[in-house]
């Protein structure tokens, strides 16, 4: 289910304009949604959505070169370089990437920047729904998406993958089903966070 009904009109208009001026590509809809949110200062994405200025410009040129974009929001990205798990997240996404197309690197960088938010990952990224996030991960990082066979919340799942790579198993129970925090990890994300 999409949550576009509760989306501010300015974001909707920007999304429609981006899609009307977009090049073909599997990631265009996701990128347009995240860009529309970022330009209207929704979500947590920092300056250039977590990309370098050069990568951001390359993404716009590749997918939205015909679009007339508003002025970029004044957001900081100073904290991004201080994110201690950033190199491990980059390695995780690189290992599970569909291929070495630079758009996968862009999506990975945006996902990493979105991981610092306190809401559901799809909201922090500025996507319209959790279904969009799941589809974007399946499209770009299929090996990772396939591992989430029990539909764990994506942020928790991504960090669980990091812990498992390091041999850290923090869950107090031998299986998720027996864990007291099961509802926190597997509860529905269909509705926006409060």
> What pLDDT shows up at residue 171?
55
pLDDT digits (tens, 9 = 90+) for 7-39: 666 999 999 999 999 999 999 999 999 999 999
pLDDT digits (tens, 9 = 90+) for 76-103: 888 788 888 999 999 999 999 999 999 9
pLDDT digits (tens, 9 = 90+) for 45-76: 999 999 999 999 999 999 999 999 999 998 88
pLDDT more than 70, % of the chain: 81
Q: For residue 183, what pLDDT band results from cuts at 50, 70 and 90?
A: low
Q: What is the mean pLDDT of residues 130-152?
A: 95
Taking CA atoms, 124 is separated from 38, 47, 68, 162, in Å, by 10, 14, 24, 20
With a CB cutoff of 8 Å and minimum separation 6, the contacts of 33 are 15, 126, 127, 128, 132
The pTM of the full predicted model, rounded to 2 decimals, is 0.84
Cα 17 from Cα 69, distance rounded (Å): 9
């Amino acid at each position: 289910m999409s949550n576009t009904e509760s989306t501010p009109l300015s974001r909707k208009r920007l999304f429609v304009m981006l899609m009307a001026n977009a090049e073909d590509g599997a990631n265009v809809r996701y990128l347009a949604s995240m860009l529309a949110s970022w330009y209207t200062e929704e979500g947590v994405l920092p300056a250039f959505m977590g990309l370098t200025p050069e990568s951001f410009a390359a993404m716009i040129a590749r997918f939205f070169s015909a679009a007339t974009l508003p002025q970029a929001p004044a957001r900081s990205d100073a904290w991004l370089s201080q994110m201690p798990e950033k190199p491990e997240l980059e390695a995780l996404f690189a290992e599970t990437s569909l291929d070495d197309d630079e758009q996968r690197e862009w999506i990975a960088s945006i996902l990493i920047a979105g991981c610092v938010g306190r809401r559901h990952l799809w909201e922090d990224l500025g996507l319209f729904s959790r279904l969009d996030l799941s589809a974007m991960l399946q499209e770009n990082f299929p090996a990772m998406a396939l591992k989430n066979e029990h539909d764990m919340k994506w942020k928790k799942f991504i960090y669980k993958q990091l812990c498992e790579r390091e041999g850290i198993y923090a869950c107090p129970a031998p299986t998720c089903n027996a864990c007291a925090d099961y509802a926190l990890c597997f509860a529905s994300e269909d509705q926006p966070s409060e």
